[in-house]
Amino acid sequence: MKLIATILIAGAVFAQQPAPGPKPEVQGNDRDGYTDTPVNPGQPWKVHDAARPRPAKVTPGALVSTPPPSDAIVLFDGKDLTKWVTRMRNGQTTEPKWKVENGYIEIVPRNGRLVTKEKFGDVQLHVEWMIPEGTEGEGQGAGNSGIELMGRYEIQVLESYEGLTYADGQAASIYGQWPPLVNASRPKGQWNVYDIFFEAPKFEGERLVKPAFVTVIHNGVLVHHRKEIMGRAIHRRVATYAPHGDEEPFSLQDHGRPVRFKNIWMRRLKGYDGQ
Ligand code: MG
């Protein structure tokens, strides 16, 4: 009897499925943006909205390469990757395969993201990055990497001095959510500097009780001022939160492009909220 009931229910569910057919065509692309994506909650804009204005360009001042202060955790000092492992898409970790030369790290594409051995929550982060000269591609293919706070909340790294993409996916965007206030990118072959101030989200069991917030300074220019992060972004979808630890490893994204990084350090933040 139970088996028959199961078959009947399964049959009824199956009957409700839409008839299989060709997938609807994607409206847009990674250079111009999209018109068929969902609206970001609390914003007038869709995810990767083709109509969202790109931020105005600002020419930053001279490079300010801040050396680490005494209480910083130096993650990369130009010499080696002893603070890091590589994590593949299947979750497997190995010795890092990215190159270290001339005092910088260079992504060796498709070797997995570079992940810290240490875990972090609320932090101040300093990181310098460069899109090498000779990098080709457009849209999201122009030197793409990412600063992945807690391994999941991405501040975009991309060639945005000349390259065009949707506003919420250009360099210094909170990917898929917020474009930077202005575009302070330097051209290929020059170092960019991010100073990032990050408040980790808080969970009680499965429930989010406080979202993450981030402040970002790009080449000395404020581009996000304690902006609320909406969750972990996914291409063409609304970002969502999934519970995780109070501290998680920090990572640099492998998006298949040979982007460079140097002078990476963190400070753990305590007491800023009076607690
Ligand atoms: Mg990226």
Ligand 1 center to 101 CA (angstroms): 23
| Alpha helices in 62-178, H assignment, sequence order | none
Candidates 182, 130, 179, 181; CA nearest to 159 is 130
Ligand 1 center to 146 CA (angstroms): 4
**64, 90 in Cβ contact below 8 A?**
no
Domain total in the chain: 1
Q: What is the pTM of this model?
A: 0.90
Structure tokens at 36: 């068929």
11 lies in some domain: no
Ligand 1 center to 259 CA (angstroms): 11
CATH number at 253 reads 2.60.120.560
Ligand 1 center to 27 CA (angstroms): 21
Ligand 1 center to 140 CA (angstroms): 8
- Tell me the longest C-alpha to C-alpha distance in the chain: 78
Ligand 1 center to 157 CA (angstroms): 6
130 lies in some domain: yes
5 lies in some domain: no
Report pLDDT digits (tens) over 69-127.
999 999 999 999 999 999 887 888 999 989 999 999 999 988 899 999 999 999 999 99
Ligand 1 center to 142 CA (angstroms): 10
Mean pLDDT of 244-248: 98
Ligand 1 center to 254 CA (angstroms): 8
With pLDDT > 70 as the criterion, what percentage of the chain qualifies? Answer: 92
259 lies in some domain: yes
Ligand 1 center to 149 CA (angstroms): 12
17 lies in some domain: no
138 lies in some domain: yes
Residue 143, domain extent = 34-59+69-268
Report pLDDT digits (tens) over 26-67.
999 999 999 999 999 999 999 999 999 999 999 999 987 899
